[in-house]
Each structure stands twice: as C-alpha cells, then as structure tokens.
Amino acid sequence: MSDAHAVLRYEDVRKTYGRTEALRGVSLEVRDGEVFGLLGPNGAGKTTLIRIGLDILRPDSGAVTLFGAPLHRDTLDRVSYLPEERGLYKKTKVLDALTYFGRLKGLSQSDARDASSRWLEKVGMGHVAKKNVETLSKGMSQKVQIAGALLSEPELCVLDEPFSGLDPVNMDLVKRLILERRRAGRATILSTHMMNQVEALCDRVAVIHAGQRVVYGPLREVRREHSHPTVRVRVDGELPELPLVEAITETAEGLELRLRDDAAPSELLRALVDAGVTVHHFEELLATMEQIFLQAVREDPTLEAPPKDLGEPPRDPDEEAAE
C-alpha cells in the first residue's frame, strides 16, 4: 500500500477509548494533488483518524507519516484543517481573525493580512472585513472559516463538512476552490455526507465503518466494482434478441439493460451495431456513491460485528473548557 507520492499515510492505525475501539487497524494514504474522500457514518472513526493524522491525538499502535516523515511541528505547518465543529472569536473583526490564522501558519503580519484580504474577496466576503464575527450569518461564517483554512495555501488541507450551511451558489464556489487546489498540485481531504459532491470532486475514496476501512480505491474503480453491468440506451425501433441481456426496464431517459454478470457493455454495443440497430445514446450505469455507502455500512459481509460501546470516550479538555 505504498506510494512514493503519498503526502499522508496511515499504516495499521489503532485507537481505543477505554474499552471502545475507535480505529481497528486502518491503512490508507492520501496522494499529492488529489481530492481524497474520507467517508463514513457518524461515529465511524473519521474524526479520530483525521486528528491522529494532524497529531492532535496519538494512536495506540500503527504508524503515521506526513510528507514522507514522522509527524513533526514543522511539517504540520504545511497542513490546514477545517473541523466540523466551527469556531471563530465572536468579538473579533473578521479580517483580524483571519490574520491571526495566517500568523499561526508562519506568515508575517503583513503577509497574513494581505492574504486574508485577498481570500475574503475570493469567497465574496470582502465587505465584512471590518465587521465583528458575531454579526455574520451561519453561511457567511462558514465561508470565512474556509478562507481561513486556505489562505496559507497549504500543501494538504483537511475539510470536514465544508458544504454545511451553504446555499447552492456558495457550494459551487467551494467546489471551484477545491478544484483549483487540485490543479495547483495540492492535496485535499474531503470528509462529507454529500455523496453527489464526492462523485463530482474526488479522485479516490475510503469508507470507514465501525473503525475499519470497508471501501478504498479510485472513485471510478470503486463504483465499477460495486455495480452490476447495466447500460442505458436510446435506439430507433425495437431491440433484437440479445442473449447478453437479463432484463430490460423502460425509463423516461431510455431503456436500461441489465447484462449478465459475465458480459461487458462493450460487447453489448458491438452486438447492437452488428444487428444494424441505430444507437443514439449508450451509457454505462455505475452504482452511485450513496448506494455504495449504504451497502458498505449496512450489509458488508466481511465486516466483523463492531464491539459494544462500553462507555463514552474521555472528553477533550478543550471542549469541556469551551462549554
């Protein structure tokens, strides 16, 4: 499972809270310049995995490397994190809050302020620079925090539910920012429950369930692996007898042909052409990530039964203080 271009690698990582196993031997890697989808139901272990990768938590066993080396403060400065639990200092002006984030990443005061102003304009929030954070709506605050995560141009950025609270226009803005990072050769980990965004953005994915990796690989290969061979066609006239086809369903978009398990879509297309059928549309239908997600977390036959939850994990002292 090794790749020379991995920016973040987990090898057999395990983590236990009391007698509750949060991670049960997870191995995966995030590569240079890709958008990596880290998926799973609530409580699956995603946040624990992220925090271990950022040295916020330490694993009980296993190894984590960042940019090819053990975790170290200097390399962590090349990473940014947008946690699902949002937080901005409410009485602080927006520009000052972002400048502070830039300073934490090693930027000088002037560079941090310039980058903050530039990123506020980039997310359409330049007009709130001198307003207090507490005056912002949920969606506005979300965009400010996304700007804060990206303003240092990190080589690896972890975005946990970045689309939360955003309308379709601003969701599209965030998608474009993520794709800009890919074009610039920077890696992004995207943790989200919005499977349509995963399909639109991710190069590779992993699904974590009950502390185990149950799905992993390039997005299209994962979708193909979990799909029964099915195609949608639009043709002139009636279809001839097709031994490759098990079932035909008529839909508003055309005819959906379910093939035999041993048949390939290319064979069907060849058979249609050889039979003289005029084909106007031919599309292979792959399982959606939502279907794959549900199958993986509900029906995966290789997954051992998760251990009983024998108590709440110890609380983070910082979270207790915040309350």
- Whether residue 176 is found in the same domain as residue 277: no
Phi then psi for 19, rounded to 5 degrees?
A: -110, 15
Is residue 128 in some structural domain? no
Order of all β-strands in the sheet with 69-70: 20-31, 6-17, 61-66, 69-70
- How distant, in Å, are the alpha carbons of 70, 88, 105, 147, 320 from that of 74? 11, 24, 10, 22, 28
Q: 37 near 205, Cβ under 8 Å?
A: yes
Does residue 305 lie within any of the structural domains?
Answer: yes
Residue-level pLDDT at 44 = 92
pLDDT for res 314: 41
pLDDT, tens digit (0-9, with 9 covering 90-100), for 22-53: 999 999 999 999 999 999 999 899 999 999 99
CATH of the domain at 161: 3.40.50.300
The predicted structure's pLDDT at residue 280: 94
Per-residue pLDDT at 89:
83
Q: Are residues 176 and 269 in the same domain?
A: no
Q: Given the DSSP bridges, would you call strands 204-209 and 187-191 parallel, antiparallel or unpaired?
A: unpaired
At 287-323, the pLDDT tens digits run: 999 999 999 988 644 444 333 333 334 444 343 333 3
Q: Strand 254-259 and strand 230-235: pairing? A: antiparallel
Do residues 280 and 177 share a domain? no
Q: Which two tokens stand for residue 48?
A: 């624990």
Residues 58 and 12 in one domain: yes
Domain hosting 281: range is 228-285
State residue 103's pLDDT score: 93
Extract the tokens encoding 94.
Answer: 């927006």
Q: Phi and psi of 320, rounded to 5°?
A: -65, -40
pLDDT score for 88: 81
Angle at 265 between CA 197 and CA 245, to 5 degrees: 115
310, part of any domain: yes
Residues 67 and 248: their CA atoms lie apart, in Å, by 50
DSSP state, residue 10: E
pLDDT, tens only, 145-203: 999 999 999 999 999 999 988 999 999 999 999 999 999 999 999 999 999 999 999 99
Query: Does 133 fall in a domain?
Result: no
**Which stretches of the chain are DSSP H helices?**
46-53, 73-76, 94-104, 109-122, 138-150, 168-183, 195-201, 219-225, 265-274, 289-299, 317-322
Residue 177 lies in a domain: yes
- Total domains, the chain: 2
The 8 Å CB, 24+ separation contacts for 165-171 are 165/138, 165/139, 165/141, 166/139, 166/142, 167/139, 170/124, 170/139, 170/142, 170/143, 171/197
Answer whether 107's CB lies under 8 Å from 80's CB.
no
Name the residue type at position 51: R
pTM for the whole thing?
Answer: 0.84
Same domain, residue pair 10 and 31? yes
pLDDT per residue as tens digits for the range 215-257: 999 999 999 999 889 999 999 988 999 999 999 999 999 999 9
Please, what is the Cα angle at 228 between 246 and 243, to 5 degrees?
25
Same domain as 240, residue 207: no
193 and 310 housed in the same domain:
yes
What are 78-130's pLDDT values in tens digits? 999 999 877 788 889 999 999 999 999 989 999 999 999 999 999 999 999 99
| pLDDT tier, 65 (very low <50, low <70, confident <90, very high otherwise) | very high
Whether 108 is covered by a domain: the verdict is no
pLDDT given at position 311: 36
Distance of CA 174 to the CA centre of its chain: 13
Say what the pLDDT of residue 287 is.
Answer: 92
